[in-house]
Amino acid sequence: MPYFEVNGVKLFYQEKGNADGKETVAFFNGVMASTGSWAYQVPVFEKLGYRIILHDFKGQTMSGKPDGEYTFKQHAEEAKALFDYLGVQKLHIIGTSYGGEVAMRFAIDYPEYTKSISVIDSVSELDENLKLFVSSWKTIANPDDPEGFFWGMAPSIYGSSFIKANKEFLAERAVALKSIAADYFKGQISLYNTFVNDLDMTEELAEIKCPALVVVGEDDILKPYKFSKIIADNIPNSEFAVIPDCGHVTIFEKPNILNTMLLGFVIKNS
């Protein structure tokens, strides 16, 4: 498996699509996920000949998990180092949730690299409800009860309609979590602490000069509409879209609608 070392940490990464493609798209994961979470999005970009880069942030499933909380600036810096290593210096970034927040940080810190960003179900600031949701995940992030962790956090991220229609799928995901390495939960707690203690960038969003697509699920209770509206209102060159009957995990819940938005936006800004 390919790894790239930066700041003493090994980052797991994957390259897909057309290695000689004129346009590159990078996908930034949600906090609990890994590169495989983009299974519904990657094929449509492969089909159109894009070069695709995916990686796990430090603390995530396949990457190193150093002690302590991190910063979003570190995530952005390490992504830039990976892109430099791969010879990519201009690209589109698509990020969901935590990954969308890293995408915004990246666009602020490295505007010369960023052709566009697509920010899905993300925030640029916190409120007390969101802090409590994440704090509750910390209390159940127990390697001895991975299924309990899954069912404890599921209602806060999946929409009601999706849960009702996909009970078997969700049960399979809960069981699959039993086979994950125990250090997954160590990394998760570091990432949750990073999110709660380091995320505050609303006042910096005006510095994002590239085109931005901001998408939110209408029924997202974890990071609801108001947060995406704040992002869209503060990024000068932004477009804003709300997907009906959809919770927080838009990449799973409404992949076809989302893919149409993402492809159209990236093509338009290629």
**CB proximity list for 71: less than 8 A, separation 6 or greater:** 194, 198
pLDDT-based confidence at residue 126 (cuts at 50, 70, 90): very high
List all residues 6 or more positions away from 196 whose beta carbon is below 8 Å from its beta carbon.
126, 131, 134, 135
Residue 1 has pLDDT above 90, yes or no: no
**181 in any annotated domain:** no
The CA angle 180-186-189, to the nearest 5 degrees, is 115
Q: What is the mean pLDDT of residues 83-101?
A: 98
For residues 40-58, give the mean pLDDT.
97
Query: Residue 43: CA atoms inside 13 Å, Cβ hemisphere, count?
Result: 6
Model confidence band, residue 180 (pLDDT cutoffs 50, 70, 90)? very high
Q: Which of these, 93, 83, 86, 29, lies nearest to 61 by C-alpha position?
A: 29
The predicted-structure confidence for 199-253, as pLDDT tens digits, reads as follows: 999 999 999 999 999 999 999 999 999 999 999 999 999 999 999 999 999 999 9
Residue 137 placed within a domain: no
Reported confidence tier of residue 21, pLDDT bands at 50, 70, 90:
confident
Q: Is 140 a domain residue? A: no
Tokens of 136: 């509750």
β-pair partners for 135? none
Average pLDDT over residues 135-162: 96
Q: What pLDDT is recorded for position 182? A: 86
Residue pair 215/121 in contact (Cβ under 8 Å)? The answer is yes
* 159-186-75-116 Cα dihedral, nearest 10 degrees: -20
With cut-offs at 50, 70 and 90, classify the pLDDT of residue 96.
very high
The domain spanning residue 49 has which CATH number? Answer: 3.40.50.1820
Please give the average per-residue pLDDT across 60-82, as a whole number: 97
| 236 inside domain | yes
97 — pLDDT class (breaks 50, 70, 90): very high
Percent of the chain whose predicted confidence (pLDDT) is above 70 = 100
- Within a domain: 155: no
Instruction: Confirm whether 94 is domain-assigned.
Output: yes
Task: Give the mean model confidence (pLDDT) for residues 38-52.
Answer: 97
**Residue 92 in domain:** yes
Domain that holds residue 50: 3-126+200-268
- Angle value at C-alpha 208, between 204 and 212, nearest 5 degrees: 125
Structure tokens at 258: 């989302």
Residue 68 has pLDDT above 90, yes or no: no
pTM, to two decimals: 0.97
Measure the CA–CA gap between 36 and 14, rounded to whole angstroms. Answer: 10
Inform me whether the pLDDT recorded for 110 exceeds 90. yes
User: In the chain, how many domains are there?
Assistant: 1
